[in-house]
Amino acid sequence: MIDISLRDLAEAIGAEPNLAAAENLDLIATGSVETDSRLVAQGAIFFAKPGETTDGHLFVASAFKTGAVAAIVEHFVEDSAHLPQLRVRNGVAALGLLAKHVLEELAKTGSLVVIGVTGSNGKTTTKNMLREILQTAGETIAPIESYNNEVGAPISMLKADYQTRYLVVEMGAGGSGSIAYLADIAKPNIGVMLKVGLAHVGEFGGIETTAQIKSELASALGPDDIFVYNADDGYVREMVSLNQAEKISFGTAADADYRATNLALSIDGTAFEMHWPDAAISKVNLRILGEHHVMNALASLSVADQLGINRANAIAALESMALAERWRMQVTHRSDGVTIINDAYNASPDSTRAALQTLAQLGKTGRRTIAILGEMAELGEASKTEHDSIGRFVVRLNIDQLVVVGEAARLIHSGAVLEGSWDRESIFFDQIDKAFEAVREMLEPGDIVLVKSSKSANLRHLGDKLMEVRS
């Protein structure tokens, strides 16, 4: 983060200083901004945010011991009254105000480019791809993991300083106004719209509502900005009328500005031909598995090209990526010939179907395919229908073995049985440990195993264990 005095900090977030802070308003914070006291180092600002399991106010003293310059609090901590504290009404809102202030200061230099990324699927992968590409041309800040909400996104933004050339902001949807809130803080120069799907459909009440929330990024763009959008998605196409920004499209559609053709999938990755707006064609060989990641690559290459980054360098950066991120189509080839694909960090009906299609296509080489599936969370009233549908989809793809884990996912098993009248081709387990033992016993050399569920189902840990097992 940029250096900031306690005086400017208090003014930026509308804070009331305690006596210790009032006497040290010229003190300069030179470190990071943290909401976890364990991450605080010399010169940092500590936001004592109340949390789900604990309260940051309990750790104000320890934050100062490890080097904090000031603590942002919602109530003064009396046993640390001798330490600089700035009181605000809402710590999360204050965090956003600080991020907005810092980015406004950086914008004055004219050298920072902010890229906002949203969509129902692919945000984190696209963010990681952009980081790999953009850092070849300048200092780049992009969030770790899925830091994309009202807390994580500002924390990521606050890592930018005067040396930062590119800032990639992943914008997750937390309800109506959530993306507009993040966009107002970040003021993106480029907005990337990936896809509108069924993720969070239970929370938001329908895909139309999801589209409306996602469109808040498009609406936030001005005439000097660039809107990079998925031409294959009908909901996304409708967003082009929401701003006067320059419109740049990507996809497999014939009219896309940046287009992919001749997609090819193997156990070693995903290849396609990239058609640039000037009619040039490049071959791209991703080590990341899954044809659905081609859209993420297209989005990333589109942004890079609009920024004038060398095309060959951009492609080379993508081709160097061994995986999108841990637990996202993470491939391990065991020494006994079994291949594990651990994709259990997140799951929606759309992403689950995409992963299953990848598994089915890989099975066309003659290898046995096994899908281990758990709950797709946050589907609300659509949960029963969507889980049943996934089970039937597995049968239609001719996947050899289905293993369903967890009571919340039982309807996947029921749907498969009703669709296929299988003889033990679908097995249900109520506990992860039981499923692990059964799968370990059934595995044979050459098998390809997909593990897919929402994070809350914890199947990613089952996937990790299968990666480590040797027959």
Task: Please give the CATH architecture assigned to the domain spanning 330-468.
Answer: Alpha-Beta Complex (3.90)
Q: Mean pLDDT score of the chain, rounded to an integer?
A: 93
Kindly state the greatest CA–CA separation across the chain: 76
For residue 205, the model assigns a pLDDT of 64
Whether residue 192 contacts residue 166, with contact meaning beta carbons closer than 8 Å, is answered with no
Q: Which of 145, 219, 149 has the alpha carbon at shortest distance from 188?
A: 219
For residue 50, the model assigns a pLDDT of 87
Q: Would the CA dihedral through 340, 344, 349, 351 be positive or negative?
A: negative
With 70 as the cut, is the pLDDT of residue 470 above it?
Answer: no
**Across 3-11, average pLDDT:** 97
Helix axes 91-107, 178-186, angle to 10 degrees: 40
For residue 417, the model assigns a pLDDT of 93
Whether residue 298 contacts residue 133, with contact meaning beta carbons closer than 8 Å, is answered with no
Give pLDDT tens digits for 294-306: 999 999 999 999 9
The alpha carbon of residue 286 and the mean position of all alpha carbons in its chain are separated, in whole angstroms, by 19
CA–CA separation, 258 and 231 (whole Å): 9
For residue 422, the model assigns a pLDDT of 63
With 50 as the cut, is the pLDDT of residue 471 above it?
Answer: no
Any idea where the domains of the chain sit in the sequence? 4-89, 109-319, 330-468
CATH (residue range 109-319): 3.40.1190.10
DSSP character string of 445-459 = TT-EEEEE--GGGTH
Q: Which of 81, 86, 83, 78 has the alpha carbon at shortest distance from 63?
A: 83
For 259, 316, 444, the CA distances from 287, given in Å and listed in that order, are 19, 11, 25
Whether residue 71 contacts residue 20, with contact meaning beta carbons closer than 8 Å, is answered with no
Q: Which of 231, 233, 237, 221 has the alpha carbon at shortest distance from 258?
A: 231
In angstroms and rounded to an integer, the radius of gyration of the C-alpha atoms of the chain is: 24
For residue 400, the model assigns a pLDDT of 95
With 50 as the cut, is the pLDDT of residue 109 above it?
Answer: yes
pLDDT band at 469 (very low <50, low <70, confident <90, very high): low
For residue 202, the model assigns a pLDDT of 55
CA–CA separation, 200 and 213 (whole Å): 11
Give pLDDT tens digits for 111-161: 999 999 999 888 989 999 999 999 999 999 998 777 889 999 999 999 999
**Across 407-422, average pLDDT:** 90
For residue 129, the model assigns a pLDDT of 96
Residue type, position 91, single letter: G
Q: Which of 146, 122, 142, 119 has the alpha carbon at shortest distance from 216?
A: 119
Of 27-31, 173-177, 200-204, highest mean pLDDT: 27-31
Kindly report the backbone phi and psi dihedral angles of residue 188, in degrees, each rounded to the nearest multiple of 5, phi listed first. Answer: -65, 140
**Across 357-382, average pLDDT:** 93
Whether residue 116 contacts residue 43, with contact meaning beta carbons closer than 8 Å, is answered with no
For residue 144, the model assigns a pLDDT of 75
For 136, 174, 358, 455, the CA distances from 390, given in Å and listed in that order, are 40, 25, 14, 17
For residue 396, the model assigns a pLDDT of 95
Give pLDDT tens digits for 322-352: 877 787 889 999 999 999 999 998 888 989 9
Give pLDDT tens digits for 34-51: 999 999 999 999 999 988
CATH number for the 4-89 domain, one of 3.40.1390.10, 3.40.50.720, 3.40.190.80, 3.20.190.10? Answer: 3.40.1390.10
**Across 418-438, average pLDDT:** 89
432-446 burial, b if ≥16 CB within 10 A, otherwise e?
Answer: beebbeebeeebeee
